[in-house]
Amino acid sequence: MIAVAFYVVGDVHGFLRPATDALREAGLIDDDDKWIGGENILWFLGDLTDRGPQGIAVIDLVRRLQEEAAAAGGEVGCILGNHDMLLYGSKFVPDSPVSEQRNLIQVWALNGGQDRDLSKLDHVRARWLATLPAVALVQDHLLIHADTLAYLEFGKTITEINTTFHDLMARPEPETFGYQARQLFRRFDFLDAERGTSNARLLLDRLGGKRIVHGHSTIPETFGVAPSTVDAPVLYADGLVLAADTGLALGAKCIPIHLPLPEEEKDEATASE
C-alpha cells in the first residue's frame, strides 16, 4: 500500500511559473500542469493573487487541480487569504472602509493589487473564492493563512469560523467588509517570546490539531534571512507553529512542504521499530 503524502504551499501571489515548477518537481503535476499526485493531499495557504503577474491563472490552476485530484482519489484544498479577500472586495465593495484613511480598493492597490487580476475576476472565479474555508484541520495540522488569534473573533469552532467567512463573502457589506478583511492583516501572535507559545496552545486547544501551519508572514521578513537562502519552512513557538510562506514575492523559491516534516517522519519510524 502506497502511503498518502500531504503537502502545503505558502503564498503564491500570482507567481504561476515558480509554483508549477515546484509542484512538478514534487511529482504532483506533469509537464502539462495536470494532476498526477494520485491520492496525495495538497493544500494552498491563501494569497493566490496580487504582487505577481498571473494571479487569475493561479486561481484557475488551483480550481482545476481540485477537480483532477478529486477524480483521482486525492485532495487539493485552499485557505482564504487576506489578499484573496482584498481582490474579492475590490470587485464588489471597493469603497468599503478598511481604516479611517483608506478604502478597500486603495489598500488592495497599495499591497500589490494587479489591475489584470481585478478585470479578469469573473463571477465564476469569485464564487469559488467565496467558498474557500478560512481554517482547515488536516492530519492534525491546523491550517490558517495569517499567524493570528483573530480567527477566534469569527467563531468558537472551525465550522463556526468558516460559516462566518462564507457569509461575509456571500453577502459582502460595504460598511463592514473592509474592517473584517483587515483582521487577516494581523500577524506575529505566535512569534512573541513571552506569549507566542501560549497563544499557539490557545488556538490549538480551541480549534484542534497538534500544530499550526500558516502563510502570510514571510520567512525572510519574519526571521531576518535572505530570500535566496530559504529552502525549508521554519518551526517555532516550541514546535507548535510552522511558517510556510517562503517569500515567493520577495524572490524566494516556492516549496511544497511535505508534512509531517521529514525528520519527524524518521523519528516516528524509529520509534515504531
Nearest to 146 by CA among 156, 135, 131, 154: 135
Q: What is the pLDDT of residue 27?
A: 97
Residue ranges covered by each domain of the chain? 6-272
Rounded CA separation 49/16 (Å) = 10
CATH class of domain segment(s) 6-272: alpha beta
Rounded CA separation 79/215 (Å) = 10
DSSP single-letter state for residue 208: -
Provide the whole-model pTM. 0.95
Residue 33 phi/psi, 5° resolution?
65, 25
Residue stretches of the chain with pLDDT short of 70: 1-2, 263, 265-273
> pLDDT, tens digit, for every residue of 116-140?
999 999 999 999 999 999 999 999 9
3-state secondary structure of 1: coil
C-alpha distance from residue 205 to each of 156, 160, 208, 236 (Å): 11, 15, 6, 17
> pLDDT, tens digit, for every residue of 167-208?
999 999 999 999 999 999 999 999 998 899 999 999 999 999
Task: Give residues with Cβ within 8 angstroms of 176, minimum separation 6.
Answer: 96
Nearest to 77 by CA among 131, 22, 147: 131
